[in-house]
């Protein structure tokens, strides 16, 4: 065991010694400068930039174009041999998405596609969410390869398109069975280098109430869809979920995000549309929530003499991996041993591609990334350079710890 420990330490040191701040920053800036705001995405430009870099190193890369100008990316270190019971090879998948959200309407202090550094902060759209995490994972693979570290299992990076809009790329990966051999996964969404072992799910509905138009001076001849929707909002405000509070995530929430209806002040509105966002916790049934909300809608419509429709826009289940899972324990141990971080695993309220991957793969999934969670989707988005460099070290070390070294 002492011999294997020495081998591990030497291999890890050889790879982490290659971490170069200037090189790492230049790579991240290149990704930030490559516009992949979604919509429309066009993530193939990011994927091709990564592929060009890795072709020079001899690391296997594959692009899968899933729509025009949109390609999922696969980068693989194959591993030396199988490990574990019956020689089944461990496969660690590092996951990140290649798209970003649009800029928004506020003015940026720095060029949002410039990758401008100011002290310990690097600014740009996607710096935290999540090109910083993507770059860190990819550089970890590159440094392991350049250091000639022989991993016993397979290490793979998968870059998905369209996470910011319904996890389109992850759904294609699952549909095609492209990472079905995965035995464990880490997603580098922004976590400020804290370890998240649970995240909430997301259930979004579009609710339509249809009434009857009439002249504004004679509202008794119409059926006001906006008034009916106001009653629906009151019902949602009183809505009581059936759930067991999660020890890391707390309870579910409802947010009324958008509402529109009517055409003119002097016309009784015959249509009102509302979109809501429900964040769920492990153990909740999305099907049951749909039934409950639909019942509220139909009861409201019956009382007003209106007609109601409800459509599911987003359906992403919550994801949790136990703190007692060996994968979680190993990640915490790695953070403690190599990065002097002694903290428990936590939960986070956003959702990730893990909501797509977990129901299919049924493997432990953790979230760890260098980005700042509060900077996701924000104007003047930034990432801390020291956290970015630290995460590269973690991704190198953890791959060696989980997969083993020859």
Number of domain units in the chain: 2
Give the model's pLDDT for residue 79: 86
Where among 294, 316, 338 does a domain terminate?
316
Per-chain mean pLDDT for the chain = 95
Give the model's pLDDT for residue 93: 98
The domain that contains 250 carries what CATH number? 3.30.70.360
- 229 in the same domain as 284: yes
Give the model's pLDDT for residue 87: 57
- 332 in the same domain as 193: yes
Give the model's pLDDT for residue 25: 98
Looking at the chain, the whole-number percentage of residues with pLDDT higher than 90 is 94
- Asked if 38 and 141 count as a contact pair (C-beta separation under 8 A), the reply is no
Write phi, then psi, for 149 (nearest 5 degrees): -80, 125
Nearest to 141 by CA among 30, 57, 22, 71: 57
- 208 in the same domain as 195: no
- 150 in the same domain as 46: yes
**Per-residue model confidence as pLDDT tens digits over 46-80:** 999 999 999 999 999 999 999 999 999 999 999 87
Residue 255 has pLDDT above 80, yes or no: yes
Average pLDDT over residues 367-380: 97
Supply the angle between the helices 132-146 and 44-57 in degrees, to the nearest 10.
20
In this structure, the number of other CB atoms found within 10 A of the CB of residue 249 comes to: 22
Residue 3 has pLDDT above 60, yes or no: no
Which domain covers residue 115, as residue numbers?
A: 2-199+318-403
Gap between the Cα atoms of 254 and 281, Å rounded: 12
Average pLDDT over residues 82-95: 75
- 329 in the same domain as 305: no
Where among 316, 345, 368 does a domain terminate?
316
Residue 100 has pLDDT above 70, yes or no: yes
Average pLDDT over residues 244-264: 96
**Per-residue model confidence as pLDDT tens digits over 102-159:** 999 999 999 999 999 999 999 999 999 999 999 999 999 999 999 999 999 999 999 9
**Per-residue model confidence as pLDDT tens digits over 230-239:** 999 999 999 9
**Confidence band for 99, pLDDT divided at 50, 70 and 90:** very high
H or E element at residue 368 = none
Gap between the Cα atoms of 319 and 383, Å rounded: 25
- 155 in the same domain as 10: yes
**Confidence band for 1, pLDDT divided at 50, 70 and 90:** very low
- 278 in the same domain as 208: yes
The domain that contains 377 carries what CATH number? 3.40.630.10
Average pLDDT over residues 255-261: 97
- 233 in the same domain as 195: no
Give the model's pLDDT for residue 86: 52
**Confidence band for 245, pLDDT divided at 50, 70 and 90:** very high
**Confidence band for 311, pLDDT divided at 50, 70 and 90:** very high
């Amino acid at each position: 065991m002492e011999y294997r420990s020495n081998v591990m330490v030497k291999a890890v040191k050889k790879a982490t010694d290659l971490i170069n701040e200037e090189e790492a920053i230049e790579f991240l800036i290149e990704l930030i400068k490559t516009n992949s705001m979604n919509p429309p995405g066009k993530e193939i430009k990011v994927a091709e930039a990564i592929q060009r870099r890795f072709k020079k190193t001899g690391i296997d890369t594959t692009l899968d174009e899933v729509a025009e100008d949109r390609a999922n990316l696969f980068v693989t270190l194959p591993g030396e041999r199988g490990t574990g019971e019956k020689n089944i090879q461990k496969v660690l998948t590092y996951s990140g998405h290649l798209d970003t959200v649009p800029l928004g309407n506020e003015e940026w202090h720095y060029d949002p596609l410039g990758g401008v550094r100011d002290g310990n902060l690097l600014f740009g759209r996607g710096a935290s969410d999540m090109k910083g995490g993507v770059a860190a994972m990819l550089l970890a693979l590159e440094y392991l390869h350049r250091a000639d570290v022989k991993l016993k299992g397979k290490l793979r990076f998968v870059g998905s398109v369209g996470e910011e809009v319904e996890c389109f790329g992850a759904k294609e990966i699952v549909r095609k069975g492209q990472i079905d051999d995965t035995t464990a996964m880490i997603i580098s969404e922004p976590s400020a280098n804290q370890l998240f072992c649970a995240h909430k799910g997301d259930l979004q509905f579009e609710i339509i109430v249809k009434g009857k138009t009439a002249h504004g001076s004679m509202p008794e001849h119409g059926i006001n869809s906006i008034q009916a929707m106001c009653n629906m909002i009151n019902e949602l405000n009183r809505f009581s979920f059936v759930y067991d509070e999660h020890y890391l995530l707390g309870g579910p929430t409802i947010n009324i995000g958008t509402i529109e209806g009517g055409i003119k002040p002097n016309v009784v509105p015959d249509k009102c549309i509302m979109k809501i966002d429900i964040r769920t916790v492990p153990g909740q049934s999305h099907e049951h929530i749909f039934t409950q909300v639909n019942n509220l809608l139909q009861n409201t419509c019956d009382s007003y003499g209106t007609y109601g429709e409800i459509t599911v826009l987003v359906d992403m289940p919550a994801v949790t991996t136990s703190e007692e899972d060996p994968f979680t324990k190993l990640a915490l141990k790695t953070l403690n041993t190599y990065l002097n971080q002694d903290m428990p695993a936590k939960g986070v309220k956003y959702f990730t591609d893990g909501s797509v991957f977990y129901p299919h793969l049924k493997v432990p999934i953790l979230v760890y990334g260098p980005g700042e969670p509060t900077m996701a989707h924000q104007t003047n988005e930034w990432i801390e350079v020291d956290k970015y460099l630290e995460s590269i070290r973690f991704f190198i070390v953890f791959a060696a710890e989980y997969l083993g070294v020859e």
